[in-house]
Amino acid sequence: MIAKIVHFFGDTKFANWRRRALVIVLVTVVIADFLVERDHGEFFWDDLSGWWAGFGFLSCVVIIVVSKAIGHQGRIMRDEDYYD
């Protein structure tokens, strides 16, 4: 079972299917956000539909970019054969 999952995420022939699944999940989250009732928000952006879905996605992208920058430009990341 786990081998099928690893093969699905590691094989390039499933790239289009993975991309479509990602888009479907993202669109579903944004649509579900329109269905949630908002009684009162602390700030004006709390009442915007799709705000938290976009904020979460942008936050994940920022975390990935910053960690890659720290790893590569900060010289924390080493070559694969560093200890050989």
pLDDT per position as a tens digit, 23-47: 999 888 878 878 877 777 788 888 7
78 domain-assigned: no
Please report, as a single letter, which amino acid is at residue 70: I
84 domain-assigned: no
**Token digits for 17?**
């299917």
User: Considering its fold, how many domains does the chain have in total?
Assistant: 1
Helices (H), 1-84: 2-10, 15-35, 51-73
**How many CA atoms are closer than 13 Å to the CA of 9, on its beta-carbon side?**
6
Which of 83 and 58 is assigned the larger pLDDT?
Answer: 58
What's the chain's average pLDDT? 82
In angstroms, the CA 8 to CA 16 distance is: 11
34 domain-assigned: yes
* Boundaries of domain holding 51: 2-73
Proportion of the chain above pLDDT 70, given as a percent: 99
**Token digits for 62?**
């920022």
Query: Reduced to 3 states, what is the DSSP secondary structure of residue 11?
Result: coil
- Yes or no: say if 66 and 49 are a contact pair by the CB < 8 Å rule: no
